Amino acid sequence: MMTRREAGAGIIASAVLAGAPIVTAAEETGPRRLPPPDKAGGMPLMAALQLRHSTREYSAQPLPTQTLSDLLWAAFGVNRPSGDRTAPYWRHIMVIDVYAAMADGVWLYDAKAHALLPHLPDDIRAATGLQDFVAAAPLNLVYVAHGERMTDISPEERRLYASVDTGFIGQNVYLFCASAGLATVFRGAVDYARLAQAMKLPAQQFVTFAQTVGYPRA
Ligand SMILES: Cc1cc2nc3c(=O)[nH]c(=O)nc-3n(C[C@H](O)[C@H](O)[C@H](O)COP(=O)(O)O)c2cc1C
């Protein structure tokens, strides 16, 4: 039987072929296609490194779709015909999923289709961390590891390698945000059990970290 994710990717492919309008609202429950990322944009790397920092005060202003597209591609998008990504990953096994928790629900980033697949219709931003700003910031990325894909290693090693994979993605997000004038903070202060429950994760999957993104509060 086709999974929800496979069905979503199929719908996108058919829509593209048919020149169908792009689905943009979570209420329509379909995949949300993202515009192509602007891969020529951004500031010089050294300038972005100079600006990289953590921010803990956010405005509630939502992110434009193009910004979301650019951000997710920078985070963990496909950057080669092989399907490999903007961040390295353990043993060439795809362990980390990137979820976007926003006011209109929780979405799974499908890097191959460069689209957001609907995961939950609920606003769970407040459950993504132990700090107040997470509830109002427009986007909290939640990094989820597929423990079941990490065979022949101990649970400690699973957590270690999944965390390293996540850290690379997190730094991509930091650098993108520095370049785009956005605010971000990578977060481990998370009630992991509560968040796994809010996200309805299967038992083998676990949250590694979360990362808030938005505009700095003026
Ligand atoms: C593994 C890890 C976990 C972190 N967890 C949190 C967190 O839960 N909340 C928070 O506000 N910042 C968190 N941070 C951000 C650090 O506090 C921050 O990077 C550090 O203070 C240095 O500040 P800078 O990022 O502005 O250079 C975390 C950073 C890392 C690498």
pLDDT confidence of residue 28: 53
Q: Which residues contact 203 (CB under 8 A, 6 or more apart)?
A: none
Q: Are 145 and 94 in contact (CB under 8 A)?
A: no
Nearest CA to ligand 1 atom 18: 54
pLDDT confidence of residue 22: 34
Judge if the beta carbon of residue 145 lies within 6 A of ligand 1. Answer: no
pLDDT confidence of residue 12: 41
Distance CA 184, CA 58 (A): 9
Distance CA 24, CA 158 (A): 36
pLDDT confidence of residue 25: 45
* Weakly modelled stretches of the chain, pLDDT under 70: 1-29
Which atom in ligand 1 lies closest to the alpha carbon of residue 129?
8
* DSSP secondary structure string for all residues of 59-103: --PPPPHHHHHHHHHHHH-B-STT--BSS--GGG---EEEEEEET
pTM exceeds 0.85 for this model: yes
Judge if the beta carbon of residue 50 lies within 6 A of ligand 1. Answer: no
Nearest CA to ligand 1 atom 12: 187
